[in-house]
Structure 1
């Protein structure tokens, strides 16, 4: 039995798609799993994760977590290990990693973690990074979702024989375009303008302020564009103020969290990722799988995924002019949009299949348990 562990607030993010999708693929590969989620008490956003777990038939254990120093969770996680006879602990963040080391003192098991990336946008995050820096070298295997994160883990002292690169992936049977953008816009009661879409947590590292300014440039030039940013977060008020100050209230919308992104991807004429820091974001994989042409920042694992001009466009982070220029090219060139949409989908089918990713993950499980593989 594998116990996935994750600390989350609100509706979660990209890692939760990977975690909650995994139980569907593991049984045929010889493993069962359960997902233990630590979340603030009375967090209404957690209902979205509960619903996704139901939809995807992912066994879920809910553990109220009262903050960074609530060590009572260790006892609750130990109980979950004993109840489910856990053989492998699979952590997904700093607190899960620390809890795994503590729980193993009372319940013998192997420790695996996936490093999805680190962000530094509150006073607490340097502490979280320091905790992970101590934990990671003590884990049996560390899975990194991008080359950049793999290199950082090696610098943190994770030995080469314990560090594994397994990039993010998605289930292409769940993400594919079934209708044209105009039909999807009508279904969502959107205007007929050229729709630039973005998905992510409303936080500084996502660079949505840069994206909003880039759309502002296009609007001032007379481009008939609009922007939809899907997601929630602490930066909502600041981003709304920026939208109003640029006179974009009728062209830019903070849509909020949406559990089903398929229709939104279909409505998009272009997808923009303006992040300052990332690993290998699932939302880019999803947009490419949906044949939406992508403009993304040239950071972390993205240059390995996107070959500039071949299956997407790359720009430097924090460069409003460059982002506006790439979006302008897509706005003016339907042939470029179609080509990048097609080659983007082909890239995901060829290199980022979720089923293939899970085979690599279970090979890691086999290795820590000493199971011989064919």
Structure 2
């Protein structure tokens, strides 16, 4: 079976790692290839990684708003590749990929990781995406929390599967001590930082990093030798830099921008913090736990499925800087508990969030799709997309873990 992933990659980040992790863990009868929109050339980092790992990867020449050109090229590429299943990632691939795949009778599986509401324009595209998901053959939600949102968007329950992201425990077996020194070097020598709190992610409003900055003020009153470092870029940088200056945190809260070395820094942090207002299933939480680092995070989306409160970290309400600070300060002041939580987090990743389990769940899903010939016959006899579910269907009560089969192991 030839699986083609369609994405709009702008960097080699969490979603891209998940796509490649799945491809690497599927058995030999599955072949995986990758197509990406150009994104003004920013797709190259992902394509380089794809090819380095031995997979076929190509970028499309056409792009939005030239919709006809995109659909013509995408249809031709999928036909030439003899794709059996199209997996789409994010709103542009979901919408345009559905149309191209329908022309060929190829089943489409969208992977729903969450919606960012980064700005007004993105919010409009994401509204279209929620409507579009109703007409895809399957929607994979990366968490039970995200599945609730997908169902609320009107996607029929029998088309929704929960398959958790995988964690890369093996990648953190032998941390490089040089990155411990480098992590501490981000702070001025006269600050005497003894504990480093790390955060990572896109600098976007839904990620809540302004809340973390406010929490840092409270933490430093109780733990004055703490330093905060954030890896990631985004539209919020200038605003966050201004808040850091206004709160007197210059030199103590450092925005280091995007790094390809996050994996090397993570094991040397004392604590990882996720202050998000919304999440699908946060890769940072998975990777921090895989690295053996305790996590303080907001209890939103799929985060409680990753972090076991009181066992592998602490969960707090979103948008509450003082409660976030309490969780951070309590663990910074208790090395023994913090380190025990890190060890427990690593064990949790090994038992519940593996790429092997993820690949097995996807195999069941692919088997449930039927053959491409069956789909082609269905498209020929049914020219209209399926009707959206009735309001009664959309409002029907659901139970966690009952979003259709297959699912990965749940928490």
| TM-score (ref. length: structure 1) | 0.91
Instruction: Tell me what 2:375 maps to.
Output: none
Instruction: Tell me what 1:273 maps to.
Output: 274
Instruction: Tell me what 1:234 maps to.
Output: 235
* Kept in 2: contact 1:177–1:290 (CA 8 A): no
* Kept in 2: contact 1:24–1:57 (CA 8 A): no
Deviations along 1:173-227, whole A, 9 cap, x unmatched? 22345367xx632144626521000110111111111111111222244520111
Deviates more, 1:193-202 or 1:100-109: 100-109
Q: In structure 2, which of residues 114, 117, 122 is the aligned counterpart of residue 117 of structure 1?
A: 114
- Measured after TM superposition, the shift of residue 89 of structure 1 is 0.7
Distance (whole Å) between structure 2 residues aligned to residue 222 and residue 197 of structure 1: 15
Matched, 1:48 2:60: no
- Measured after TM superposition, the shift of residue 65 of structure 1 is 5.6
* Kept in 2: contact 1:11–1:257 (CA 8 A): no
Q: In structure 2, which of residues 147, 150, 153 is the aligned counterpart of residue 156 of structure 1?
A: 153
Structure 2 unaligned segments of length 5 or more: list them.
188-192, 373-411
Matched, 1:143 2:144: no
* Kept in 2: contact 1:197–1:228 (CA 8 A): yes
Distance (whole Å) between structure 1 residues aligned to residue 50 and residue 154 of structure 2: 35
Deviates more, 1:78-87 or 1:10-19: 10-19
Deviations along 1:132-191, whole A, 9 cap, x unmatched? 2332121111111111221222222222221111111123222345367xx632144626
Matched, 1:20 2:11: no
- Measured after TM superposition, the shift of residue 49 of structure 1 is 2.0
- Identify if the C-alpha distance between structure 1 residues 165 and 2 changes in structure 2 by more than 3 Å, giving closer, same or farther: same
- Measured after TM superposition, the shift of residue 254 of structure 1 is 1.1
Distance (whole Å) between structure 2 residues aligned to residue 134 and residue 195 of structure 1: 43
Matched, 1:99 2:100: no
Instruction: Tell me what 2:397 maps to.
Output: none
Distance (whole Å) between structure 2 residues aligned to residue 222 and residue 281 of structure 1: 27
Distance (whole Å) between structure 2 residues aligned to residue 64 and residue 25 of structure 1: 30
| Structure 2 counterparts to residues 253-268 of structure 1, below 5 A | 253-268=254-269
Deviates more, 1:68-77 or 1:253-262: 68-77
Distance (whole Å) between structure 2 residues aligned to residue 47 and residue 84 of structure 1: 20
- Identify if the C-alpha distance between structure 1 residues 132 and 310 changes in structure 2 by more than 3 Å, giving closer, same or farther: same
Figure out how many residues of one structure are paired with residues of the other and give that number.
365
Distance (whole Å) between structure 1 residues aligned to residue 174 and residue 208 of structure 2: 27
* Kept in 1: contact 2:312–2:342 (CA 8 A): yes
Matched, 1:88 2:89: no
SS across alignment from 1:202: coil
SS across alignment from 1:174: helix
- Identify if the C-alpha distance between structure 1 residues 206 and 366 changes in structure 2 by more than 3 Å, giving closer, same or farther: same
Distance (whole Å) between structure 1 residues aligned to residue 302 and residue 223 of structure 2: 34
Distance (whole Å) between structure 2 residues aligned to residue 350 and residue 77 of structure 1: 39
SS across alignment from 1:237: helix
SS across alignment from 1:256: coil
Distance (whole Å) between structure 2 residues aligned to residue 175 and residue 138 of structure 1: 40
Instruction: Tell me what 1:38 maps to.
Output: 37
* Kept in 2: contact 1:13–1:200 (CA 8 A): no
Distance (whole Å) between structure 2 residues aligned to residue 189 and residue 313 of structure 1: 24
- Measured after TM superposition, the shift of residue 271 of structure 1 is 0.2
Deviations along 1:269-308, whole A, 9 cap, x unmatched? 0000000111111110000000011001011111222221
* Kept in 1: contact 2:34–2:57 (CA 8 A): yes
Deviates more, 1:360-369 or 1:120-129: 120-129
Larger Rg over CA atoms: 2
SS across alignment from 1:124: helix
- Measured after TM superposition, the shift of residue 68 of structure 1 is 5.3
Instruction: Tell me what 2:225 maps to.
Output: 224
SS across alignment from 1:142: strand
Distance (whole Å) between structure 2 residues aligned to residue 299 and residue 233 of structure 1: 21
* Kept in 2: contact 1:21–1:58 (CA 8 A): no
SS across alignment from 2:228: strand
Q: In structure 2, which of residues 163, 172, 179 is the aligned counterpart of residue 184 of structure 1?
A: 179
Distance (whole Å) between structure 1 residues aligned to residue 166 and residue 140 of structure 2: 13
Instruction: Tell me what 2:190 maps to.
Output: none
- Measured after TM superposition, the shift of residue 40 of structure 1 is 2.2
- Measured after TM superposition, the shift of residue 349 of structure 1 is 0.5
* Kept in 1: contact 2:172–2:263 (CA 8 A): yes
